[in-house]
Amino acid sequence: MAPILLLLSAICHLIVIVGLTLHPTDFLIGTEPQLSFNRTDLHSASLDFGKMTSIEPTAVLHPSSAADVAKIIKLAYESGHGFVVSARGHGHSINGQSQAANGVVVQMSGSSGAPVAPVVSEKLMYVDVWGGELWIDVLKSTLQYGLAPKSWTDYLYLSVGGTLSNAGISGQAFNHGPQISNVHEVDVVTGKGEVVTCAENKNSELFHAVMGGLGQFGIITRARIALEASPQRVRWIRVLYSNFSVFTHDQEYLISLHGQPSSKKFDYVEGFVIVDEGLINNWRSSFFSPSNPVKISSIADGGNVLYCLEITKNYYNHSDPQSVDQEVDALLEQLNYIPASVFTTDLPYVEFLDRVHKAELKLRSKGLWDVPHPWLNLFVPKSRIADFDQGVFKGILGNKTSGPILIYPMNKNKWDAETSVVTPNEEVFYLVALLRSALQNGDEALTLERLSDENRQIIKFCKDEKIDIKQYLPHYTTHEDWMDHYGEKWPQFYKRKMEFDPRHILATGQRIFEPSFISKMKSW
């Protein structure tokens, strides 16, 4: 790999000196396996989970180390014409965020495995992992020592660098904060091709920039993740509500217990909205017994919407079952769900964490996984969540949703304000995630066009009603919209961009900044 990159560097240096008009990517040729021009690789890198946009790169880099990543970025930074570079993990982005038009996609995750295996420190309770490592493999590595990360995403087949570049949230976030609040340090390759180790007290500006930074300031090649003693089992509980205010009151009560001892709180708090009669006994809701299907019409209180609270209690193989029962019962007694709607099961901790993968396998078997996913993820302030319910759940959405709608609150004090993530300016805010799949099955309500139009209606409704939402996994098409998204954080975000990626080489698929050499590129 080194010889070709040295040659490319020399060629680009000549371009600068003599003013050649050839584009640097015209010279990205070679036989080294790390730099691929294979049509299969290029096609794969042009797609993502969203299946709504496709842009092929010029080449795909399969790095064997952080040094390989640094060399390709340094080449792009120092060349006269320049080219863009984007990191790609498991390719789970929705709107082409990991794509690189006329550039290089750095494939951080792959079937060949990570360049460096996870290294666990039992004494200091952390694990060092490659940025492209999938969370499922991190978990497998740490469990060998009886340890596990504290904060998760619902789906484990995502890369460490990918989720840290967004925030990384699940039902543990109310207690431990997002995944970016559980990172000790990272190695980052900046937009200048420099490898920098950073942490809260070391190169802190870069550390805070890349946490939730959407890949704009560097590519994370190593992360040191905080660990805790791993439970072995989980009590998994779901209860139903027909009254939205009662549902949110109970959710907010449960997350207010975050400072209590583990025996006095649940370990995971999520929820979902059920507007589709079929969904309640399907996919994510398959938890409910097929022999006892739940029907909205039979328990809904004067409406066609139900709300499900999803909670868990972690415990160990040596725990006293009676004590676990007592802790769960004491917490449930404080809640006001529909009587007789309690569904509960016990299962291994790993099986609970990997629950969505089981759903994935079922959908793949039916040909329903590799379809367009017009997802919309929003942070909604607590003060306006009831308005959102009336306008969206009981308004804009029909009775066919083609996927789960998650809703759960988080505590803002668990989020570091110095990171790049923006959240509503309230102490409690909700994630509302419309995780829908577009289907061509003859049902007009489930087409990509219809679901995308509903997303636009939801955004417009919030704007018209002055509900100060913030997008999670944000997607905007104009610079002005991005400035509005970051609000008072924009000057800091821009300053960090100019410091760590001054030529705007990185993550151009986000469409936040145009590369400085945009006029010389064939397309945007």
Return the active site residues: 92, 154, 270
Amino acid at residue number 15: I
The pair of three-digit structure tokens given for residue 216, joined into one six-digit string: 């704009």
Task: Name the β-bridge partners of 136.
Answer: none
Give how far Cα 343 sits from Cα of 293, 316, 346, 403, Å: 11, 21, 11, 21
> Are 431 and 378 in contact, with CB atoms under 8 Å apart?
yes
| Three-state secondary-structure class, residue 142 | helix
Annotate 347-411 with three-state secondary structure.
Answer: EEHHHHHCHHHHHHHHHHHCCCCCCCCCCEEEEEEHHHHHHHHHHHHHHHCCCCCCCCEEEEEEE
CA distance 465 to 463: 5
- Enumerate the H helices of 144-184 as residue ranges: 160-164, 173-176
CA distance 448 to 367: 16
CA distance 494 to 505: 14
CA distance 66 to 188: 9
CA distance 226 to 182: 5
Q: Where are the strands (E) in 72-217, listed by range? A: 85-88, 104-107, 119-121, 126-130, 147-149, 183-190, 195-199
Amino acid at residue number 257: L
Amino acid at residue number 218: G
CA distance 406 to 284: 10
CA distance 307 to 310: 10
Q: Which helix (H) or strand (E) holds 225?
A: strand 218-229
Number of Cβ within a 10 Å radius of residue 83: 29
CA distance 455 to 442: 20
Cα 144–172–94 angle (5° rounding)? 95
Q: Which residue has the tokens 């804009």?
A: 396
425 DSSP 8-state letter: S
